[in-house]
Amino acid sequence: MSEAPAPGPAPGPSPAGAAVGGRTVSLRSGDWSALSADASAVRIEVFVREQGIPAEEEWDERDAVSVHCVAYSAAGTPVGTGRLLPDGHIGRMAVLPAWRSAGVGAQILQRLVELGAAHGHRVLELSAQRSAEAFYRRHGFVAFGEPYDEVGIAHICMRRVCPA
């Protein structure tokens, strides 16, 4: 396993909010101490309330060593999140239902891929819920191995080469 990533860029909105699907979001990336409240709000809504994942399985020790990305509405409320682990795994990708299919997830994933490259990873991996496999494939991830069950949800491993 590689070293824990250096803390991400100082938390703060991206210079200009990007309009997606007629909406404007801004991204912040940083460590858990900076973004835990906002990332948690989205994860509770999506993984615990919507998908029924037990709350005690949603948080783990890897949050503290990951770089997190949170997308904010123009009003400043968190609407999406994801994390990059020290070993180059991307995870906990979630966008609030009302904000889906507007490119928010794509922007978060793109930021995490850029952070992965900045941390020197050559390959990024993730464990995709099968329902989101097409989303990741659209962003260059390729499935490998056999599908498996995790917290009662079908998953598949995926990976992509990092941009140079």
Ligand X SMILES: CC(C)(COP(=O)(O)OP(=O)(O)OC[C@H]1O[C@@H](n2cnc3c(N)ncnc32)[C@H](O)[C@@H]1OP(=O)(O)O)[C@@H](O)C(=O)NCCC(=O)NCCS
Binding site for ligand X (CB under 6 A): 46, 93-95, 100-106, 128-129, 131-132, 134-135
Among residues 34 and 42, whose Cβ is nearest to ligand X? 42
State which residue has the least CB distance to ligand X: 105
Closer of 3 and 50 to ligand X (Cβ): 50
- Judged on CB neighbours under 10 Å (0-12, 13-18, 19+), 1 is exposed
**Greatest pairwise CA separation for the chain in angstroms:** 42
d(CA 100, CA 97): 5
**Cβ closer to ligand X: 122 or 130?**
130
Q: Which is nearer to ligand X, 109 or 162 (CB)?
A: 109
Q: Name 31's Cβ contacts closer than 8 Å, sequence gap at least 6.
A: 7, 8, 64, 66, 67, 68
How many residues does the structure list for the chain? 164
Comparing CB distances to ligand X, the nearer of 18 and 132 is 132
**Minimum distance from CB of 58 to ligand X (Å)?**
12
Q: Which of 1, 67, 75, 63 has the alpha carbon at shortest distance from 28?
A: 67
Token readout for 150 is 């995790």
Smallest gap from Cβ 93 to ligand X, in A, equals 4
Q: Which of 82, 144, 90 is nearest to 119 (CA)?
A: 90
Q: How far is the CB of 152 from ligand X (least distance, A)?
A: 13
Q: Which residue, 22, 45, 26, 8, is CA-closest to 108?
A: 26
Least gap, CB of 120 to ligand X (angstroms): 24
Nearest distance from C-beta of residue 129 to ligand X, angstroms: 4
